[in-house]
Amino acid sequence: MWLKIYKDFHIATFQNADGKWIARIRKADGSPLTVDLPGSTGPREYLDTDPALGEAIDAIKTAKSCIDGGSIK
């Protein structure tokens, strides 16, 4: 598992049962995320990226795109 701090978020990566990589996004201060993505609205503890990807770095890039795009606050 990789852990990266990006802006005010922690991004951790892990492999699913198929060996694909997922990034889990949490706020660095532990407060709930506000998510504005299709099918994933509302406050929550964390958000996992979807779909699972072949490399951990690709999952991190997806997580950063969600943060940079303003979908996660």
Q: DSSP letter for 72, please.
A: B
pLDDT in tens, 6-28: 999 999 999 999 999 999 999 99
* Region of residue 39 (left: phi > 0; alpha: psi -120 to 50; beta: else): left
As a whole number of angstroms, the distance between CA 72 and CA 14 comes to: 20
Please give the pLDDT value at position 72: 86
DSSP codes joined into one string, 2-70: -EEEETTEEEEEEE-TTS-EEEEEEETTSPPEEE-STT--EEES-EE-SS-BSSHHHHHHHHHHHHHTT
Domain ranges of the chain: 3-68
pLDDT in tens, 23-73: 999 999 999 998 887 776 678 999 999 889 999 999 999 999 989 988 888
